[in-house]
Amino acid sequence: MSERVYIFDTTLRDGEQSPGVSLNVNEKLQIARQLARLRVDVIEAGFPYTSPGDFKAVQAVAREVRGVTVAGLARSNFADIDAAWNALKEAEQPRIHVFIATSDIHLKYKLRKDREQVLEAAVAAVKHAKKYTSDVEFSAEDASRSDLDYLCRVLAAVIAAGATVVNIPDTVGYATPAEFGNFIRAIREKTPGIEKVVLSVHCHDDLGLAVANSLSAVLNGATQVEGTINGIGERAGNAALEEVIMALHTRRDIYGKTVGVVTEEIYRTSRLVSTLTGMPVQYNKAVVGKNAFAHESGIHQDGVLKERTTYEIMNPTMVGIPVSSLVLGKHSGRHAFRQRLIELGYDLSEEELNKAFIRFKELADRKKTITDEDLQAIVEGEIRQTPPTFELEYMHILSGTTVVPSATVGLVTGGEVIEEAACGDGPVDAIYRAVDKITGIRVTLVSYALDAVTGGKDALGSVTVKVQDERGKIFTGRDISTDVLEASARAYIDAINKIFHEMNGPSMQNRG
């Protein structure tokens, strides 16, 4: 049995299917580059046939990201497979990932096919994909609720047809750890040729068991685990890869496996995915949550001060949570700023560095000390991926308990400042109404989230908004500032810029 477990990341495909998440091509590229730094084995970049935007995103990742296998998803039909290959063909290591359901409930109600028809379609799909690339993965959707003997027949047939990876999804998160582990063991025992291929699992978290099921599968012979960063995905999400990775790493005495991941990149990857998807990480989230390495109990604090391992089974630096002795403030220069960003793992271009440094200086005038969290928020919140059509020049707010809230906003566009004023239910609503007047773009505010990035009275406020345009598409905007009204305005303008960019330039929007 192999000592190595391969990590298959589907954040850009299954993860992006989280309700309310919509990433454009450049945001997908940014995440893909970070996943490559994390050194996952496979990046599933999207589902090329579903939309032109998804096709472009997969194509962009395939062209630009090296040192990792790039996969594209396809149903078991030739049109899907052809689209997947056309998107993937410039990848250094392309993989076509074909799937079809094998459970009787899916066959009867969704596919309306019998077992033999599904088996034939699966084999034909693998053979067609094999014409394009030697690396073909086959997934039996809803495998955990499939008849074992029939599933093994299908797996044996696709292996004979040339599949190099066979994947066993717990599509609806129904399995329990002992049950799923026994299921994987039985598949290994009953499927001819299974020893020649990578045996993968893809678990969903509907009962909160995705990570436990994945680890149980590894104990019983699975050699690839599929999941997402922060566990995002359909419904309750997928197996959280950072948890799987650190469980395998920390409890190698139990699992006896290694992974090729650079664990020090985990925290940064988590932050980036959270920022770009607009999905905050819960404070008590394992491995990457704000409280994962925090100790409030006096007994715990005393123990950690005497010996860290009394209450910490992982060193926070192991997952990339930064510890710095370099204090930055308004008198700090570019060299110290650049050096600290390098230590935090950020490799910025000169243009990006200049932009981040300007925001750093603005923030330093408001705060005595700039923390690592502040720097991360500046970089992740300020390095824009969409060319700004509208930029905030100024705003004036009138609000109080005895007046109608109003806002006067000035936006720069086309080299000139356009000003509008509006009233609203509150100051944020007034700002957004004024922005709407200037841009002329009609949107519905789907969600508004305000979070404190750092502590203290001068804490940075992070605002994430999601807006829906008239076509029903959702766009995410975000910004950070010590002034939450300023952050609210800039976040809303960020989302508007994305809509404007798609409507007036090449289609950049992507839905998984």
- Domain map of the chain by residue range? 6-277, 322-382, 391-504
Q: What pLDDT does residue 451 have?
A: 82
Question: Which residue bears the tokens 């959702």?
Answer: 474
Give me 147's structure tokens: 């008849």
Neighbours of 308 (CB within 10 A): 14
Instruction: State the Cα–Cα distance between residues 128 and 402, nearest whole angstrom.
Output: 70
Which residues make Cβ contacts (< 8 Å) with residue 307, sequence separation at least 6?
Answer: none
Burial class (CB in 10 A: 0-12, 13-18, 19+), 239: buried
For the chain, residues with pLDDT lower than 70 are 1-2, 295-302, 304-305, 322-327, 368-369, 380-387, 454-458, 505-512
Q: What pLDDT does residue 12 have?
A: 97
Question: Which residue bears the tokens 């509150």?
Answer: 426
Instruction: State the Cα–Cα distance between residues 441 and 449, nearest whole angstrom.
Output: 21
Backbone angles phi, psi at 224, to 5 degrees: -140, 135
The domain defined by 391-504 folds into Double Stranded RNA Binding Domain (3.30.160)
Q: What pLDDT does residue 454 have?
A: 66
Pick from 457, 462, 292: nearest CA to 376: 462
Give me 169's structure tokens: 């999804």
- Judged by DSSP in three states, 392 sits in strand
Our measurement of the distance from residue 338's CA atom to the centroid of its chain's CA atoms, rounded to an integer in Å, reads: 26
In degrees to the nearest 10, what's the CA dihedral of 258, 229, 264, 63? 90
Instruction: State the Cα–Cα distance between residues 160 and 388, nearest whole angstrom.
Output: 52
Mutual angle of helices 427-439 and 484-504, in 10-degree steps: 30
Global confidence as pTM: 0.81
474-481 and 224-227 as β-strands: parallel, antiparallel, unpaired?
unpaired
The domain defined by 6-277 folds into TIM Barrel (3.20.20)
DSSP letter, residue 289: S
- Judged by DSSP in three states, 66 sits in coil
* Residues paired with 227 in a beta bridge: 9
DSSP letter, residue 109: I
- Judged by DSSP in three states, 188 sits in helix
Q: What pLDDT does residue 378 have?
A: 78
